[in-house]
Structure 1
Amino acid sequence: MPLNLTGRGMSSELHEAYGEELEMLAADFASAQARQDPTIVQADLKALLQRTGAVLDPSSDEYHEAGLAILRAHVRAYELKLERQRGKIVATPAPSADRGPKLSEAFEAWKTGSGTRGSRKPSPKTLLEAVYAVRRFTEWHGDARLGDITRAMGREFALALAKVPTGLPDSLRQTPLRELVKKEKELAHLPPVHSGTINKSLNILSAIVSHAEAGGGLDAVPGGFRNPFGKGVKLDTDRREADPRQPFSAADLKSIFGVGVFRDGDRPTGGAGEAAYWLPLLALLSGARQGELAQLRVMDLAEDAESGVWYLDIGTAGGRSIKTASSQRRVPLHPALVDIGLLRYRAGLVAAGAKPEASLWPALNIEREAQPAGAWSKWFTRFLRKTVGIEDPTKVFHSFRHTLKRMARDAGLHEEMHDALTGHAGGGGVGRGYGRGFGLKAMAAEMAKIEVPEVVRGLRWSATGPGEARRQ
């Protein structure tokens, strides 16, 4: 992966992601202009009328023409942004002296960081989440200047996001927010979005606004400025509410681990070789997240010199990414993983010449940091739905993590211990990182108490399984 060694400018990954977003927004505004439909800039028009004190009948020709004038300006602005994206020098217009920069301008400044030494730039995953939040807000309210965004607009936007379910089909993922809201009844069969997900978008928008405010871009707003995405805008979240993703039942596990991948040595092409076999097992018996497992290197499956305990080293070394600081941890191997053959598998890689820093899953193509196993994830979902036959949308790869948590409770492990094992920032706040909380030997003893599902006990990995030559 290319690195930005100077600490200045934009990395190639951020440049590519931002370029894709620009092209999409430019196409949306150009399409609106071709249809002579200024609905997409309605928020800008309303803000202009409010600021100037002008009164126009929304049904009048004058109102429509004013909207088209604003729409043409947007189209031209995105044309210039695309030219800059392609390398042409395009000067940034000075922001309005009293209303501050537009959201798109504030976003562009935020994503490159403050420029001061030691300042942090958003991670690729955060950037993608920000791209989504900015796009959706712009679709709903237009590319408004920060000084014109009110808390009422923020609340309206949050409620609009709440009407868009998760699990949208690919054909609808790029559909503008206003059109998606109109399809609310058609999409009612999909799982509802969690309020925490909506609040994440609001938090990112709040951070973008705060960055502009800290840089002095909103000092001249009359009457002072208040972040429109702060308290009073976010949705209430019941912290006791269960994650919509459910654990696998005993019957589910019997179906998953009873198919050819685990019984006959089948290795479907999309499953990336041995990753198809080991990632589900590791997720079930370690509680690790899919992205954490996908990024493991040979050296990350290691033996502790002091205790002799084999463990998974989940962290950021070697360019890996993790969800939160509490995710950094060492997870002792469950004895069943050793019995099945994980250490034999590792030994085979080393014997074949694999370097310590090489991937533990040579056939798995690690993609962007935000979703390291994106293609593999899609394969697993197809595998789960079509091959295994589990169609419940609340049961996904992450359900293995929930299943491990449930098995840990059934085994009598207290909450702080299985939070430490899974890297979950639970209420206890104990055992969250290296050198804190529980020792590896004690964690291994607790891990061994977790009873392995019967369907998994008899599994044995073979380098040349009977289905080795079959590819699906």
Structure 2
Amino acid sequence: MAFAAISRDACRGVLAVLRKLPPNARKRWPDLSPREVAAQAEKQGVEAMSVANINEYMNKLSSLFNWAVKEELIHRNPACGLRIVETQMARDKRLPFAMWQLQRIFDAPVYRGCRNDENGYACQGKNRPRRARFWIPLIALWGGLRQGEICQMLTSDVREIDGILCFVVSATEGDGKRLKTAASYRVVPVHPELLRIGLAKYVDDRRRAKDERLFPDLSEDSLGLYSGKFSKWFARFLISCDAISDRTCFHAFRHRFRDGLREAKIDRDVALTLGGWTTSPGAGAVADSYGQGYSPKLLYGAISTITYPGLDLSHLHTQPIDG
């Protein structure tokens, strides 16, 4: 269809389909068209993608038409302003973990001593394994990384840059990783608390074992995501340690990290760069080109000031690391 033949009604039709499409629609129904997927999802009662994602798709469509207008292929943008009005404030969607929740999470058997970190993670025991279920919540709290970013990490994604151990959040063609936005590409220095708990040793152990993946005990789900099975486990884990509450889930670590940045009075551009919320002028996407944006030293100085008063993790500082 020629650009000039696309009407505003057609763009409204695109928005109507998007409102019914679930996340990962192509993977769930690879042989169906978007309209067919929307109909199937509605029939099965599958929850649609978020309003933010829908609007992001419409923004991209509108940007394409803006380009066509500049190139004089069309006279107006038929998708201009088409979006869903967000009626719920972002702060009302999810909450950060409260201190009582963090205390219960990190006092659970998987952090104090459990039977094992598989089916026996909620049972007190003598074993203290440090694998995915141990590290991923800690990295989310002290590094602000998204669940998917952590679960898909390779051992090579944790490395020294200018003498500072950092998480390199990136994705390249063929590595099986995916990121939410362009701003997600970033370097995040490892917080001193993670160093005290022994993250550097864990990474060295994975390298000595020649593990390509940082968390080799995680496996892909049916959608090819390393975070899928972990996400389901974490929901059960919150119930097991009585830390569940309305409007909190794994993403609440990221909200708590953002509050930690605010309370530490970190410069806003630096804070947004650390969290991958935006790429502001001068900040840059530094994951693959370390000469751009803020230096690891500056970022380390900023992230090191984050504290969570009332949260005592000293019981993790000298824990032996099992297999």
Distance 1:371 1:178, change over 3 A: closer
**Other-structure match for 2:84:** 235
Q: Which amino acid aligns with 1:263?
A: R
Following superposition, the deviation at residue 435 of structure 1 comes to: 2.2
Distance 1:254 1:328 in 2: 31
**Other-structure match for 1:133:** none
CA contact (8 A) 2:166 2:188 kept: yes
Distance 1:157 1:329, change over 3 A: closer
- After superposition, the CA RMSD in angstroms is 4.3
Following superposition, the deviation at residue 345 of structure 1 comes to: 1.8
Superposed, 1:266-415 pairs within 5 Å as 266-269=116-119, 274-304=131-161, 306=162, 308-317=163-172, 319=175, 320-351=177-208, 353-355=209-211, 358-367=212-221, 371-392=225-246, 394-415=247-268
CA contact (8 A) 1:247 1:400 kept: yes
Question: Which stretches in structure 1 are left out of the alignment for 5+ residues?
Answer: 1-99, 102-145, 167-172, 214-218
CA contact (8 A) 2:191 2:303 kept: yes
Give the TM-score, by structure 2 length: 0.72
Following superposition, the deviation at residue 301 of structure 1 comes to: 1.7
**Other-structure match for 1:33:** none
Q: Which amino acid aligns with 2:164?
A: V
1:425 matches 2:278 = yes
Task: Give the secondary-structure state (helix, strand or coil) at the position aligned to 1:311.
Answer: strand
Q: Which amino acid aligns with 1:406?
A: D
Which has more radius of gyration? 1
Distance 1:247 1:152, change over 3 A: same
Superposed, 1:48-59 pairs within 5 Å as none
**Other-structure match for 1:81:** none
How much identity, in percent, do the aligned residues show? 29
1:416 matches 2:294 = no
Distance 2:100 2:265 in 1: 22
Instruction: Map Cα deviations across residues 19-44 of structure 1 (whole Å, 9 max, x no partner).
Output: xxxxxxxxxxxxxxxxxxxxxxxxxx
Superposed, 1:61-460 pairs within 5 Å as 100=1, 151-152=8-9, 154-155=11-12, 158=15, 176=40, 195-203=51-59, 230-236=79-85, 241-242=90-91, 244-265=93-114, 266-269=116-119, 274-304=131-161, 306=162, 308-317=163-172, 319=175, 320-351=177-208, 353-355=209-211, 358-367=212-221, 371-392=225-246, 394-425=247-278, 430-433=283-286, 434-460=290-316
Distance 1:270 1:373 in 2: 20
Q: Which amino acid aligns with 2:94?
A: R
Following superposition, the deviation at residue 376 of structure 1 comes to: 1.4
Distance 1:299 1:165 in 2: 33
Following superposition, the deviation at residue 248 of structure 1 comes to: 0.9
CA contact (8 A) 2:279 2:285 kept: no
Asked which structure has the greater RCO (Cα within 8 Å, sep 6+), the reply is 2
* Count of aligned residue pairs for this structure pair: 293
Task: Give the secondary-structure state (helix, strand or coil) at the position aligned to 2:167.
Answer: strand
Q: Which amino acid aligns with 2:138?
A: L
Q: Which amino acid aligns with 2:299?
A: M
Distance 1:438 1:232, change over 3 A: closer
Question: Which stretches in structure 2 are left out of the alignment for 5+ residues?
Answer: 24-36, 122-128
